[in-house]
Protein backbone atom coordinates (compact mmCIF):
# COMPACT_ATOMS: atom_id res chain seq x y z
CA UNK A 1 0.00 0.00 0.00
CA UNK A 2 2.85 2.36 0.83
CA UNK A 3 4.58 1.81 -2.52
CA UNK A 4 1.31 2.50 -4.35
CA UNK A 5 1.08 5.93 -2.67
CA UNK A 6 4.72 6.64 -3.54
CA UNK A 7 4.17 5.67 -7.17
CA UNK A 8 1.01 7.75 -7.40
CA UNK A 9 2.79 10.77 -5.88
CA UNK A 10 5.72 10.44 -8.28
CA UNK A 11 3.35 10.16 -11.23
CA UNK A 12 1.44 13.27 -10.14
CA UNK A 13 4.72 15.19 -9.75
CA UNK A 14 5.82 14.08 -13.22
CA UNK A 15 2.53 15.14 -14.80
CA UNK A 16 2.59 18.50 -12.99
CA UNK A 17 6.16 19.13 -14.11
CA UNK A 18 5.44 18.24 -17.73
CA UNK A 19 2.33 20.45 -17.79
CA UNK A 20 4.20 23.40 -16.34
CA UNK A 21 7.01 23.51 -18.89
CA UNK A 22 6.76 25.44 -22.11
CA UNK A 23 7.79 24.22 -25.54
CA UNK A 24 9.16 27.36 -27.20
CA UNK A 25 12.83 27.22 -28.15
CA UNK A 26 13.60 30.65 -26.71
CA UNK A 27 12.51 31.79 -23.30
CA UNK A 28 13.28 34.95 -21.41
CA UNK A 29 15.02 34.61 -18.05
CA UNK A 30 11.85 35.67 -16.22
CA UNK A 31 10.07 32.50 -17.37
CA UNK A 32 12.52 30.05 -15.80
CA UNK A 33 11.13 28.60 -12.59
CA UNK A 34 11.58 25.69 -10.23
CA UNK A 35 8.77 23.78 -11.95
CA UNK A 36 10.31 24.37 -15.36
CA UNK A 37 13.63 23.08 -14.00
CA UNK A 38 11.88 19.95 -12.69
CA UNK A 39 10.21 19.48 -16.07
CA UNK A 40 13.55 19.89 -17.85
CA UNK A 41 15.06 17.25 -15.61
CA UNK A 42 12.22 14.84 -16.19
CA UNK A 43 12.31 15.48 -19.93
CA UNK A 44 16.07 14.91 -20.07
CA UNK A 45 15.77 11.64 -18.16
CA UNK A 46 12.90 10.27 -20.22
CA UNK A 47 13.68 11.61 -23.71
CA UNK A 48 17.47 11.93 -23.53
CA UNK A 49 17.75 9.31 -26.28
CA UNK A 50 16.68 12.08 -28.69
CA UNK A 51 20.25 13.37 -28.46
CA UNK A 52 21.34 10.85 -31.11
CA UNK A 53 18.89 11.74 -33.92
CA UNK A 54 18.93 15.38 -32.80
CA UNK A 55 22.70 15.67 -33.10
CA UNK A 56 22.59 13.85 -36.43
CA UNK A 57 20.08 16.39 -37.76
CA UNK A 58 22.06 19.28 -36.32
CA UNK A 59 25.27 18.09 -37.99
CA UNK A 60 23.47 17.43 -41.29
CA UNK A 61 22.31 21.04 -41.29
CA UNK A 62 25.84 22.17 -40.55
CA UNK A 63 28.13 19.98 -42.73
CA UNK A 64 25.90 17.98 -45.08
CA UNK A 65 24.01 14.70 -45.24
CA UNK A 66 26.59 11.89 -45.16
CA UNK A 67 29.24 13.50 -42.96
CA UNK A 68 26.47 14.78 -40.68
CA UNK A 69 25.11 11.27 -40.12
CA UNK A 70 28.44 9.90 -38.91
CA UNK A 71 29.62 12.90 -36.92
CA UNK A 72 26.15 13.48 -35.47
CA UNK A 73 25.80 9.86 -34.40
CA UNK A 74 29.15 10.01 -32.57
CA UNK A 75 28.28 13.32 -30.92
CA UNK A 76 24.83 12.00 -29.96
CA UNK A 77 26.31 8.92 -28.28
CA UNK A 78 28.73 11.19 -26.44
CA UNK A 79 25.92 13.49 -25.31
CA UNK A 80 23.68 10.76 -23.84
CA UNK A 81 25.40 10.50 -20.47
CA UNK A 82 25.69 14.27 -19.89
CA UNK A 83 22.01 14.78 -20.84
CA UNK A 84 20.89 12.11 -18.37
CA UNK A 85 23.21 13.29 -15.59
CA UNK A 86 22.11 16.90 -15.98
CA UNK A 87 18.49 15.72 -16.02
CA UNK A 88 19.01 13.84 -12.77
CA UNK A 89 20.71 16.87 -11.21
CA UNK A 90 17.89 19.19 -12.29
CA UNK A 91 15.19 16.84 -11.06
CA UNK A 92 16.82 16.40 -7.66
CA UNK A 93 17.72 20.08 -7.20
CA UNK A 94 14.57 21.61 -8.69
CA UNK A 95 13.57 23.77 -5.67
CA UNK A 96 16.94 25.55 -5.58
CA UNK A 97 17.74 28.42 -8.00
CA UNK A 98 21.05 26.91 -9.10
CA UNK A 99 22.36 27.98 -11.51
CA UNK A 100 21.18 31.51 -10.93
CA UNK A 101 17.56 31.98 -11.95
CA UNK A 102 16.94 28.30 -12.78
CA UNK A 103 18.71 28.69 -16.13
CA UNK A 104 19.38 25.48 -18.10
CA UNK A 105 22.81 23.88 -17.84
CA UNK A 106 22.85 22.53 -21.40
CA UNK A 107 21.49 23.64 -24.75
CA UNK A 108 19.09 22.97 -26.23
CA UNK A 109 17.03 23.16 -23.08
CA UNK A 110 14.80 20.22 -24.08
CA UNK A 111 15.96 17.28 -26.24
CA UNK A 112 13.14 17.69 -28.78
CA UNK A 113 14.23 21.23 -29.62
CA UNK A 114 16.74 19.85 -32.12
CA UNK A 115 13.78 19.10 -34.37
CA UNK A 116 12.34 22.60 -34.35
CA UNK A 117 13.27 24.99 -37.14
CA UNK A 118 16.48 26.89 -36.39
CA UNK A 119 16.12 30.61 -35.61
CA UNK A 120 16.32 32.92 -38.66
CA UNK A 121 19.76 34.20 -37.57
CA UNK A 122 21.18 30.66 -37.90
CA UNK A 123 19.71 29.88 -41.34
Q: Cα separation of 78 and 19, whole Å?
A: 29
Q: How far is CA 92 from CA 19, 35, 51, 88, in A?
A: 18, 12, 21, 6
Q: What is the mean pLDDT of residues 13-28?
A: 50
Q: What is the mean pLDDT of residues 29-48?
A: 92
pLDDT in tens, 75-113: 999 999 999 999 999 999 999 999 999 999 999 999 999
Helices (H), the chain: 2-20, 34-47, 51-63, 65-92
Q: What is the pLDDT of residue 24?
A: 46
pLDDT in tens, 62-83: 999 999 999 999 999 999 999 9
In this predicted structure, the answer to whether residue 26 has a pLDDT above a threshold of 80 is no
Could you tell me which of 60, 96, 59, 95 has the C-alpha nearest to residue 79?
A: 59
Q: Is 102 left (phi over 0), alpha (psi -120 to 50) or beta?
A: left
Amino acid sequence: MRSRRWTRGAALLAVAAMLSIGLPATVSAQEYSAWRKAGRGLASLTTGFLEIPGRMLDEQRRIGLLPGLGVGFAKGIGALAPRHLVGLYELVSWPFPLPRGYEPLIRPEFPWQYFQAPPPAER
